[in-house]
Every structure is written in C-alpha cells, then in structure tokens.
Amino acid sequence: MKKYLEKIKPTYIVFALFCFAIIIKYLVGAFYYNEMDTFWYLDWAKGLQNGFFNAYSQLKSLDYPPMYLYPLFLIGAIYKIEFIANNKQLLMLLLKFFPILFDILCGLLIFKIVSKKSLKLALLFSTFWLFNPSIFFNSSFWGQTDSIMMFLLILSFYLIEQKKPYLATIFFTIAVFTKFQVLFFAPIFLLEIFRFDFKKIIKSVVTAIVTFIVIFAPFMLFSGPFLPIKIYTRGFDAYQYINLNSFNFYGLFELNWEKDSLNILPFLSYHNLSLIITLISVLFIVFLYIKLENPSIWLTSFILMQIIFMFSTRMHERYQIIVVPLILMAYFRFLDKRLLMVFISTSVITFFNQALLLIKANYFSEQWEPIWNSVLFYFSILNVIIFIFSMVVCLNILFKKKEMENSIEQE
C-alpha cells in the first residue's frame, strides 16, 4: 500500500482535489435555492439587456461599482433562454456561477503561492480554502460576490510582496471597482506603495489613474462625471444603521437596524463615533508601519479589518469574511500555530454569522425574529473574545518579528 501511494503523482492529487471541490460546490449551488440578494443580481442582469454603459441611469437600485456588471450582462443574456429561466436548479447555477468560479480561482491562487515553498503545504492550504465552511457557504449557498473581491485582493497583495507595484495597482484598483469594502484596505495598499522608490510611486499612481479611466469612463459618458462619487456614497449611505445583523460590539446591545444618527452621548452620534474609530485604526496601522518598518501586509490588513468590523457602524453580516483569506495567508507566511487557531475561529464565526441569518430569512423568519437579538448577543460575545485573542496574537507576532530582526542586526 505504501509503495502504491508513493507512485501517485502529486499532480493527480491536486487535480482530484480541485475536481471534487468544483463538483461539490456547483451541485450545492444548484440545489440550494436562495432568492435573498441573488434576485437583486438577477434584476440588474435583466436590466442590463436594455443598455449597458447607461446602467446607472436606468437601474435606480444599482449600487455596485461597474466590474461585476460584465458578468451580470452575460447572466442576463443567458437568462433569456426559457429552459434555464424556468428551471430553479439551472437558475441557481447561473446566478451562483461566477461567485463559485472565483471561489475556485482563489483556491488555485493560494495553491500557486504556497507551492513555491512546499507542494504538501500547498495542498493543505488550498484544502483549508476550498472546504472552508464560511467561504463555501458564501458562494455556494448564498451566491454572494465576495469571492471575486477576495481573489483580486489576494492577488494584488501577493504582487506587492513580489515587488511588482504596477500589476498590484491594476488588480487592487479593479478590486475597488468590484466592491466598495476594498476601500478599507486603501491606506495599507498606499503605505506599501510608498515603500518603493519615488519613480515607482509615481508610475503606480499613473497606473491607478489609467485603470480608473479605462473602467469608469464609458459609464461616466452616460451618467455624468461624478458617477464614481455617486456610486460609492450610494452604497455606503444605503444602510444607515448601527448594526446590520453583524456579530460585533454593537451586537451586544439591542441596536440592530437602529439608525446610526442616534446619539451615544449628547454631542456624539454612533456614526461619528464610527468615523473616529476608523480614523484611529488607520492611524494605528500607520504607526505600525513606522515602528516596524517592514510589517506584514496580511497581518496589518487583518488587524485593520477586524477593528473596523467590530467597532464601525453599517457593518453587514458578511463584511468580516474578508479576514479569512488574510489570516490564512498570514499563517502561511509565519507558520505560527496561534494564527491557525485565529484562522479556524474566524472561519467558524463568519460562517455562523452568514448561515444563521440566511436560514432565518429563508426558513424560520417568524420563529427566529423574537429571539434574534439574543442570538446576536451571544454570538457577538464569542466574536469579541475571538477579536481580543486575534489582536493579541497578531500584535505579538509583529513585534516579536521586530525583536528578531533587531537581534539579527546586532549579531
């Protein structure tokens, strides 16, 4: 048996792993019927058939940046086929096709990055990704587009690590034009770009501007020069609530779907408190970059997003999911078992944050509504504990890394 196993080529194992993941993900995607959010995408997809570059003028509910409109246009065209439109499983497969595709592509990207160090590790890390309950649920069950954003973000961060700022800038800019949450990472991306020489900084800025023009100009011709501002303010202002079913600090209190214009103090609203905390968290990241000189883009991004999710208002239940690939890549870079524990705990809590809400919405809305605040409370306590643990671990690793670098220099 041992000799037989030794004869199996690693490429066969990799091929089998990804084939199995593709089959399972698309089967689940097809047979789990979900209208929540996916039918918004369907409405936009159908509307795009009446005009593409004037989409923001004709589709008043459209609050996504333009990159996902290209897949949506294709979805709308295929939806015209009656056989697909009238079959629930095929319709689900159509609506979830691109989220699952980019979920798989994320797995391939992680495999490629990790395989440069070890094939065995690459198999392990891609398995961590492909069968992660949170990621699996997000794309195959819910049909959300977060995997597209995650793929572009992982790729841009990896390219920064590889000292390829121009390519990194292109993909980061595309990521920003996929989902507005990517803007949370803009300060860290800029700090990374500013570590290059002046010539590369200028070229990176020009690259970002050119990418912006190429993507946005056709839409701006039909919807006006201030379209980018309108899109991002529309997306950010669409849900002006303290908490939107998130397991975070505000979930400890009965503040779900409460307007964030409410005052926490006579002179301070929840929204303004959120802005102050976001500013402080960004300044803290700047401090880390100054203090540590060469911090990890994965750990600093994880720290920033964790703070923003836990203490900012207008956070949806899915906004924390982006920390899952960040901490997975941080674990690969440091191979510290504590980071593995953080990865597992954040994967579990983000899974429950999505799954409990979607199950509530699709099956047990009346039964769950009276106890939903209690569900938020107990799971938010758990997430606060995970948050504290993750902050202690990440900061300890960053400053330990600094101490090790200093000791090496002294020797």
Alpha helices in 177-224 (DSSP H): 186-193, 198-223
Using pLDDT thresholds of 50, 70 and 90, give the confidence band for residue 2: low
For residue 411, how many C-alpha atoms fall within 13 Å in the half-sphere facing its CB?
A: 6
Q: Name residue 241's beta-bridge partners.
A: 259
> Quick one: DSSP state of residue 196?
S
**Of the given ranges (83-97, 222-236, 273-287), which has the lowest mean pLDDT?**
222-236
Report the predicted TM-score, pTM, of the whole model to 2 decimal places: 0.94
The fraction of the chain above a pLDDT of 70, given in percent, is: 95
> Quick one: DSSP state of residue 52?
S
Using pLDDT thresholds of 50, 70 and 90, give the confidence band for residue 6: low
Angle between helices 297-311 and 323-334 (to 10 degrees): 150
The model's pLDDT over 329-367, given as tens digits with 9 standing for 90+, comes to 999 999 999 999 999 999 999 999 999 999 888 887 777
| Single-letter amino acid code for the residue at 80 | K
The model's pLDDT over 124-174, given as tens digits with 9 standing for 90+, comes to 999 999 999 999 999 999 999 999 999 999 999 999 999 999 999 999 999
